[in-house]
């Protein structure tokens, strides 16, 4: 008999279109960065073919399924246990006809998927370079946070190969990597078009950056107003509540 939950797992309500997700309490759980990226990418055209690189628990793919009504979403996750859990979340939401999970190293995608095929790419990759930050974490968390299995260069190189001409690329990352991000995007002919910084509150510097690029586009970069997550009393701002549909 099919078992939807395993040890240490729970079902969380995403509070959007009755969507739910399975998470393991001992692993790296999705954060607000994934929710913000799914909102940032909501200008993806309906009926698009989307690929979600470093898809993790499948949170971005699941949210986009009801935000942009795609033709298909290919979710790519290297960790077997995490990919298997995301497959069960997809079954839980009856999204098997839209989302397909590929448990593989994204560097092998040229052997599995067609290049120049996808309309849009979304990615919430590991933020930290190898040998930076705290290292005494579980392997699941290390792979999710650090560039152990894929680097920023890998993400952009593979994305450029997979995207159609003028296809769109959406990523959430850390502001301290922005120079690396822009240089690597241009290295692989993905032109940065929109940047949006995210601040914890009005008195704290940005700790996330959302960036959109277009393959083989002309140069023109727009900075959107910063997103402020919290009021000074710790509550979510109206803009964030709107993202969460509250």
Summarize pLDDT for 139-171 with one digit per residue, the tens. 554 444 444 568 999 999 999 999 999 999 999
Q: Is the pLDDT of residue 204 over 50?
A: yes
Q: What is the pLDDT of residue 29?
A: 78
What mean pLDDT is predicted for residues 200-213?
98
The least confident of 54-68, 102-116, 129-143 is 129-143
* Residue found under tokens 């092998």: 108
Question: Percent of the chain, pLDDT > 90?
Answer: 83
Phi-psi region of 234 (alpha: psi -120 to 50; beta: other; left: phi over 0): left
Spatial separation of the C-alpha atoms in residues 146 and 230, rounded to whole Å? 27
Average pLDDT, the chain: 91
CATH code reported for the domain at 9-243: 3.40.50.150
Q: Say whether pTM exceeds 0.75.
A: yes
Residue 194: name the closest of 219, 216, 174 by CA. 219
Q: How confident is the model at residue 137 (pLDDT cuts 50, 70, 90)?
A: low
Q: What is the mean pLDDT of residues 176-183?
A: 96
Give the model confidence (pLDDT) of 77-86 as tens digits. Answer: 999 999 999 9
Q: What is the DSSP letter of 37?
A: H
Residue 204 or 148, more confident: 204
Distances (CA, A) of 34 to 165, 166, 173: 26, 24, 10
pLDDT: is 206 or 146 the higher one? Answer: 206
Query: Over 80: is that where the pLDDT of 246 sits?
Result: no
Angle between helices 152-162 and 178-187 (to 10 degrees): 40
């Amino acid at each position: 008999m099919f078992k939807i939950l395993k040890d240490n797992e729970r079902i969380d309500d995403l509070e959007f279109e009755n969507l739910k997700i399975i998470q393991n309490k001992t692993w790296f759980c999705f954060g607000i960065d994934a929710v913000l990226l799914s909102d940032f990418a909501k200008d993806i055209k309906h009926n698009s073919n989307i690929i979600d690189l470093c898809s993790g628990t499948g949170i971005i793919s699941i949210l986009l399924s009801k935000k942009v009504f795609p033709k298909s979403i290919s979710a790519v996750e290297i960790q077997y246990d995490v990919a298997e859990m995301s497959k069960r979340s997809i079954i839980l939401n009856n999204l098997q006809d839209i989302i397909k999970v590929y448990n593989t190293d994204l560097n092998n995608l040229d052997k599995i998927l067609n290049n120049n095929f996808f309309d849009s790419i979304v990615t919430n990759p590991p933020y930290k370079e190898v040998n930076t930050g705290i290292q005494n974490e579980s392997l699941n968390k290390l792979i999710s946070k650090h560039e152990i299995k894929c680097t920023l260069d890998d993400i952009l190189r593979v994305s450029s190969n997979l995207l159609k001409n003028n296809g769109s690329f959406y990523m959430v990352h850390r502001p301290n990597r922005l120079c690396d991000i822009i240089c690597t995007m241009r290295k692989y002919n993905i032109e940065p078009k929109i940047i949006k910084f995210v601040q914890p509150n009005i008195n704290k510097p940005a700790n996330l950056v959302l960036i959109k690029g277009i393959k083989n586009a002309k140069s023109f970069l727009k900075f959107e107003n910063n997103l402020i997550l919290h009021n000074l009393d710790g509550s979510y701002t109206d803009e964030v509540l709107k993202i969460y549909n509250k």
